[in-house]
Amino acid sequence: MPPIATEAPRDLGFLLTELPGTLSRDVVTIASGSGKLEPGTLLAQLTAGGKYVPSPATGADGSQTAIAVLAYGVDATSADAEAVVVANDAEVKKPMLIYDASVDDDTKRNAKLTQLRALNIKTR
């Protein structure tokens, strides 16, 4: 029996619709130490410094509030990395979103989706 191949998340594979051009997108800096991040990762902006990190379930430094979805994979393991994010006015595929490991149940996931909805990012 041949091995089963699995495909990693594709760049912008989570995106259904967005505003024309690049109106829904921004270029941001992912903080060093965030690791290798896949497209579709929910991100938050740190209050101090304004860099972006994966959005955990809780926090008090800005990271607790999801405000964007990573468009293209990046490696911010040992250095800051520039990244494109979907930051507003878009529809995204709910099953293709990637959450921080601490966002580990439906209640926490729904809280993140509500945060995105406040930015007019709707999940389908």
pLDDT value at residue 56: 98
- Distance CA(110)–CA(8), nearest Å, equals 24
Residue-averaged pLDDT of the chain? 95
Number of domains composing the chain: 1
Mean pLDDT for the stretch of residues 104-122: 97
Task: Check the CA dihedral 68-74-80-81 and report its sign.
Answer: negative
Q: Is 7 contained in some domain?
A: no
Give the H/E segment covering residue 107: helix 106-117
Q: Is 8 contained in some domain?
A: no
CB–CB of 29/83 below 8 Å?
yes
Q: Is 82 contained in some domain?
A: yes
Return the CATH number at 96.
Answer: 2.40.300.10
Whole-prediction pTM value?
0.93
CB–CB of 78/84 below 8 Å?
no
